Chains A and B, each alone.
Chain A
């Protein structure tokens, strides 16, 4: 019998697992995929938002500034790639200036610190590549860019190290309420638990409906992106948001923690929450809209297009409630959900405590994580470091200069590894301009060696994404 089962290992589920791991509890984290962070937490805009946008009457408005502060603490505690780049919301016409006023006033109510209104000239002085049409901007210093999947994975890694049990490839199909516990049924297993936390993202309405009357409906919303190589040069320093127009919420242009440039997203309601394909029409639209604020964007530097599915809903806020006895919804988490995740987890745990969950701190709990990033080791220390750790002397990913040592460490940090993309998300190999063309086969070799999985069974990403179909005719003889 578990004390708590968390359904969904995205940023919300993993933040909750991380917070719960400090208590003397038997916690199980379930996900339907073969890794954590495979839904909206993987493919999003990677921003720790400042908090000028959400309605102050909502939880989104109440949590945002606190969430951003907590995120900025956690990136140190958990050793996550982050840059406090700040954000600029730019105005292209008089209407936009009114929007900036509205944001400024909302920001004041939401507690956003350090906001500044800039004129066009000052805006372009700070960001020379912005359009000549920009006539003003709102500067939000307390915001930044984060590696969102690393954030999620780091919290899961610490949670698992500190005793949380993780079960992957477990799709929840039913939840049965019994007298003193829930029975959570997956396609292959069933688990008993006293408390259930629903952190199922785009599926959170379906999980909710397994135990309670329908209260909200998820409306999966797809957003498509370009990622431009750093060979494009420094395009912008801060996250550049345009003001929303009637047609779009605004395509942003942002640096990333890997010094690339991210452009997107649109917002398109779709029926299939797994359809993360990209389309020519939308990509063309995204490129065109982005050039309104940054005309010099050169999309020939594109190294990846992707799309993410956000858990928008017909409920105009996060749905954070005890919806049935001992059943907590952390549902309908949309933007700024990534920023608010640590607060959502804390507030959710408070609600469970009110339901009777006993929170006794463990005698010893280590909530920190530290990893080696070869690129960050100063040149004068590298010789000594490699002498002690020879694995860090072999570069596997040429584009991003990721070493074998970093890949092996990622495999050994405790979460199961099934795919090349799992390594990409943990060590950063394959994120660069060749997109794994060179390092893919070598990463495959290292995973096979470290885990004992046959290279034939190592996947690109999710279950079913097999890379190889068999051996060649003479493979046996050659070996």
Chain B
């Protein structure tokens, strides 16, 4: 067995999360960091996101995906961060003192590395047609939106001439516009929920501006075509998502694009014994993005699916900072810290973090969450403790499931709660 190479910190994934985490960890004093990236380039999914709209929050200007990632790749150049490209992390093992990462590449072969801390930044994958069980034939011409985006934007190939899009996730909306500009006919975008899955600005700029109809509460119930897609059946669905007989619309198309959700890629995390939250499909984390497995941190879409890269960056910076603290001081807080668990009512899908170690909170902790339905009227996000006392509340004029919300909980409010749980709810 070869020598095991050591690092202070190994970051798995060189997309926006991994890049910002690396820059932050370096800024916070680590000088022995490795990024493991399976692709031949840094930047992750941003490389194929050639549209603009990135960076409005973080940089206060509008950038394309590659421009956004280049900002961080440039910052990385001024650090001592090492990058292993075209390299796959195959296994992650956790022990008391070290995290072991098995990595492999053509150039460097199979290596076992270890580090004091690991940041998970593997991103997510697209939910497939098979995951949502659309029956019909298994013809060619059924693409995940991100896969079609790769073909069109990075490889220079067109995937179809007459296209229907299932799901109104942002990638699907962006591709509706992109394929139209490339000369394809996008006949409709169909969304099973009664509200859009993507950002409002994308509904306007990618569908409405091109006269592409959006059918809410509709889904594809059959796909025909022996070898290439020839026809799809679209049906309206009832409140339970069941297709309503008699509402069939038939579209003669050669291509179906799916934008039906993203799934954090946590196979490595699961193997390392990281506890996952079934609501996010990502790890359960504390306020500093440390998972319940000591020394393993998570950020970006592997933690929960984001709609804006700007928030990925912020989250990754916080994870990078925390990992640096952990490496330097063996963790920011004592083992028996006061821990508050965040619970949600039925209107809220999840929170990140799920747990807060009060002693670790400097001034405030930022809590991200998504609502599960549309709130058109002004409403309040309320935090209550176990004696049902209102600890904090935040006003919102409206809220949409497609747009991630966040609030800042000041430390002083957390110090005086009764019990060890806070429940987050939406109240009128």
Contact = CB atoms under 8 A, between A and B. Distances in A.
B156 A464 contact: no
B139 interface: yes
Contact of B133 (A302, A441, A455, A464): A302
Contacts of B267: 399
B397 to A, nearest CB: 35
B227 A463 contact: yes
A473 B179 CA distance: 11
Interface of B: 1-2, 38, 86, 88, 90, 102, 104-111, 125-126, 128-131, 133, 135-141, 144, 146-147, 150-152, 155-161, 182-183, 221-224, 226-228, 254, 267, 270
A383 B110 contact: yes
Nearest to B86: A394
Contacts of A186: none
A383 B111 contact: yes
Given A390-B106, A460-B140, A464-B228, 7 more contacts: A385-B110, A386-B104, A399-B267, A441-B155, A465-B139, A473-B183, A479-B156
B229 to A, nearest CB: 10
A171 to B, nearest CB: 15
A467 B156 contact: no
A59 B5 CA distance: 62
18 contacts: A306-B138, A383-B109, A385-B110, A386-B106, A386-B110, A395-B38, A433-B125, A434-B126, A437-B128, A441-B147, A464-B226, A465-B227, A468-B158, A469-B160, A470-B157, A472-B157, A472-B182, A475-B156
A369 interface: no
A404 B107 CA distance: 13
B135 A277 contact: yes
A393 B109 contact: yes
A387 interface: yes
A23 to B, nearest CB: 37
B252 to A, nearest CB: 15
Interface in A386-411: 386-387, 390-391, 393-395, 398-399, 401, 404
A277 B106 CA distance: 40
The 6 A-B residue pairs with the shortest CB-CB distance in the complex, in nearest-first order? A475-B156, A464-B227, A460-B140, A382-B110, A465-B140, A465-B227
B102 A379 contact: yes
Contacts of B159: 467-469
B224 A277 contact: yes
B133 A299 contact: yes
Contact of A461 (B2, B155, B227): B227
A229 to B, nearest CB: 9
B182 A305 contact: no
A438 interface: yes
Contacts of B223: 277
Contacts of A401: 88, 90
A381 to B, nearest CB: 9
Contacts of B110: 379, 382-383, 385-386, 393
Interface stretch (A113-121, A278-286, A358-366): A278-286
B120 to A, nearest CB: 15
Contacts of B106: 386, 390-391, 393-394, 404
Interface string A51-75: 0000000000000000000000000
B133 A398 contact: no
Nearest to A469: B158
Contacts of A434: 125-126, 128
A478 B50 CA distance: 14
How many interface residues does chain A have, given as a range? 35 or more
A474 interface: yes
A380 B88 CA distance: 17
Given A435-B130, A465-B227, A387 B86 contact: no
A304 interface: yes
Contacts of A479: 156
Most chain B CB within 10 A, of A390, A393, A404, A440, is at A393
Most chain B CB within 10 A, of A401, A434, A459, is at A434
Interface in A436-479: 437-438, 440-441, 455-456, 459-475, 478-479
Contacts of B2: 383
A398 B88 contact: yes
B104 A462 contact: no
A39 B226 CA distance: 14
Contacts of B158: 468-472
A274 interface: yes
Contacts of A168: none
A125 to B, nearest CB: 28
A385 B90 CA distance: 16
Contacts of A456: 157
B205 to A, nearest CB: 20
Contacts of B138: 276-277, 306, 461
Contacts of B1: 380
Given A305-B135, A383-B110, A394-B86, A455 B157 contact: yes
A303 B130 CA distance: 5
Contacts of A475: 156-157
B227 A280 contact: no
B140 A283 contact: no
B235 to A, nearest CB: 11
Most chain B CB within 10 A, of A274, A399, A435, is at A435
A393 B85 CA distance: 12
Most chain A CB within 10 A, of B86, B107, B151, is at B151
Contacts of A398: 38, 88
Contact of B156 (A280, A379, A478): A478
A95 B227 CA distance: 44
Contacts of A300: 131
Contacts of B222: 280
Contacts of B226: 274, 462, 464
A418 B140 CA distance: 14
A440 B226 CA distance: 20
Given A437-B147, A466-B228, A394 B105 contact: yes
Contacts of A465: 139-140, 227-228
A393 B102 CA distance: 12
Nearest to B1: A380
Contacts of A382: 104, 109-110
A137 B224 CA distance: 41
